Structure 1
Amino acid sequence: MIRFALAALLAAFLAFPAHAQSTVSDPAGFGGLAGEAGEQVNVTADDLRIDENESTALFSGNVVIVQGAMELHAPQLLAAYGEGGPSDLQNFRASGGRVDMLFDDQTVEADEAFYDFGQRILTFSGSVVVVNPTGTVNAERLVIDTRAGTSSFSSSGGGGRVTSTFTPAG
């Protein structure tokens, strides 16, 4: 399934080489995140500081976030929660250096990741690199809409481009 999705992405890139942004139905194969979006989120870190006035929790040092088969690593994670306390998680921002996500047989690396739990949208920004067994995509931004099952890669506004390398099957 992932190889087929990447082949569709490659076809889109070849058909429209001058475009700096590409939106294709789940080209990166992250559709499986939708099934895990309601699962429990487990966070481990070296330190945790809760600011009840701001309704935030700051995890720092070797942060690991696990939700189903998705695992995200970051130097720090700022989680914002609602009136229900930490169990009412609204969003999180992983930052402080390189952020890495592992899902199935692929990885995403970026400078920052932001997840909106209400919208179920995961956004990676800053030198994004997606790698799986059949290819690599480089961009400045990757937006994964887990409800719609879509992924969108885009370049920076300064004339940058989305680049990719794929290994053809057979």
Structure 2
Amino acid sequence: MRAALRALGVIGLIAAAPAASAQTFSDAFAGFGSNDREPIQIEAKELKVQDKSQSAVFSGDVVVTQGEATLKTQRLIVHYDGSAAGGVNQRISRLEASGRVYIASKDQTATGENATFDMNRQLMVMTGKEVVLSQGPNVVVGNRLTVNLKTGQADLEAPKSGRVKVLIQPKSLNEGAPRN
């Protein structure tokens, strides 16, 4: 059974904040790839550059930051266009994270086992036995999350034999709303 949530539908409702400043869960991913004005900083215990395959493999407590977004994982493969000899201004075309992937931005977090960021198509896909998205006390759980980084549309799928789970704390939806 496949279940999906749309960012502008249910996820937007779950993540609702007062007035027009409402953000969706997909905003947590917007920092990676869609913001080409902010540098991407990567730290790890080890780096192996593979110029033939136009990639760099970071391993060991990898931390990636861009703007307000942070990604933590055990292994990250960065695919780039051009030669590593071309300097630090290489264009990143794809990120592949594996091993306890954690992404955070402001009060939003997402966790899973693997995540890929396709910078050319502006798509992020996170998979795992449980992909957990949270914003404050609200939580959404599935096993495959696809986010269009440009539009913010997100689809969360359930395992074949399971269902998407949503936990909404009542007070989180009423913050800032007038009481009768």
Q: Do these two structures clear the TM 0.5 threshold for a shared fold by scoring above it?
A: yes
- 2:121 equivalent to 1:138: no
Larger radius of gyration between Structure 1 and Structure 2: 2
Aligned to 2:72: 73
Relative to structure 1, is the Cα distance of residues 23 and 125 closer, same or farther in structure 2, using a 3 angstrom cutoff? Answer: same
Q: Distance in 1 between matches of 2:94 and 2:102?
A: 17
- 2:167 equivalent to 1:165: yes
Q: CA deviation at 1:22?
A: 2.1
Q: CA deviation at 1:33?
A: 4.7
Q: Distance in 2 between matches of 1:99 and 1:19?
A: 23
Aligned to 2:150: 147
What TM-score do the two structures reach when normalised by structure 2?
0.76
Matched to 2:64, the amino acid is I
Aligned to 2:100: 98
Relative to structure 1, is the Cα distance of residues 32 and 106 closer, same or farther in structure 2, using a 3 angstrom cutoff? Answer: closer
What TM-score do the two structures reach when normalised by structure 1?
0.80
Aligned to 1:115: 117
Task: Give the percent of matched residue pairs that are identical in Structure 1 and Structure 2.
Answer: 25
Relative to structure 1, is the Cα distance of residues 84 and 148 closer, same or farther in structure 2, using a 3 angstrom cutoff? Answer: farther
Q: Distance in 1 between matches of 2:131 and 2:29?
A: 18
Aligned to 1:25: 8
Q: What is the aligned length?
A: 151
Matched to 1:102, the amino acid is A
RMSD: 2.0
CA contact (8 A) 2:69 2:105 kept: yes
Q: Distance in 2 between matches of 1:141 and 1:19?
A: 10
